Copies of this chain bind each other. A is one copy, B any other.
Amino acid sequence: MKKSSFVQAAMLTAGVALSGAAFANTAVVNSNITEAEVLKAQQMWGNAVVQISKDFESGGLDKAKKTAQAALDAAYAYDMGPVLFKPTLAALPQNIRSTEEGALAYFVGGNKQFPNDSGFALKGWRNVESKNAVIHLNGNTALTMGNVSFTDKNGKVTTVDKTWGYVKDSAGNVKIVLHHSSLPYTN
């Protein structure tokens, strides 16, 4: 059976000679998610938002939509089932986007089923920065809470309260299973 690159890497790390003979070394297989993997996933999410903005400017909605679809496929666990996703600017009764279609509508708009979506990722973003207050690592899952700051092409910064839940699947892909984002409360 073919081994995934994930497994091959694990084997190399463990330095295991995969023979059936007496063992000189211990093969350690660690399926837990790491802080580094979580931080990388956050950075990739931010990069995707910036890329969608730039693709929208250079290639219009079609280009932006393709980029967004690929980013959602890679970053969110919609292939595993309904995702817990409450985007920043989604109002009741469409506040929760458990399907990929709903998530795509939120990021790029243009879907009559979600008439209030204007496309969050189309708003000229140039930089996205995540700052975590707390990270919980628990097996192949992680939870983070903190703030994310978005800078647009005019230098205006928007900061949101952000909670993410991640799972590392059997193939080693880190996916978002939970995403709650909200504008900070102001008195």
Residues on A lying within 8 angstroms of B by beta carbon are: 1-4, 7, 10-11, 14, 16, 18-23, 26-32, 35, 72-73, 78-86, 88-102, 105, 113-114, 116, 131-141, 143-147, 159, 161, 163, 165, 167, 169-171, 177-178, 180, 182-187
Contact = CB atoms under 8 A, between A and B. Distances in A.
A134 B22 contact: no
A29 B165 contact: no
A143 B161 contact: no
Nearest to A135: B28
B136 A138 contact: no
Contacts of A105: 20
Nearest to A116: B187
A178 to B, nearest CB: 5
15 contacts: A1-B100, A3-B81, A19-B102, A20-B96, A21-B94, A26-B133, A29-B81, A29-B135, A31-B138, A92-B147, A92-B184, A96-B146, A98-B134, A116-B187, A136-B177
Contacts of A177: 136, 143
Given A180-B161, A185-B183, A32 B29 contact: no
Stoichiometry, as copies per complex, reads: 4
B145 A180 contact: yes
Contacts of A3: 78-79, 81
B7 A81 contact: yes
Contacts of A1: 72-73, 78-79, 100
Nearest to A178: B143
A187 B92 CA distance: 10
Contacts of A187: 91, 116
A28 B22 contact: no
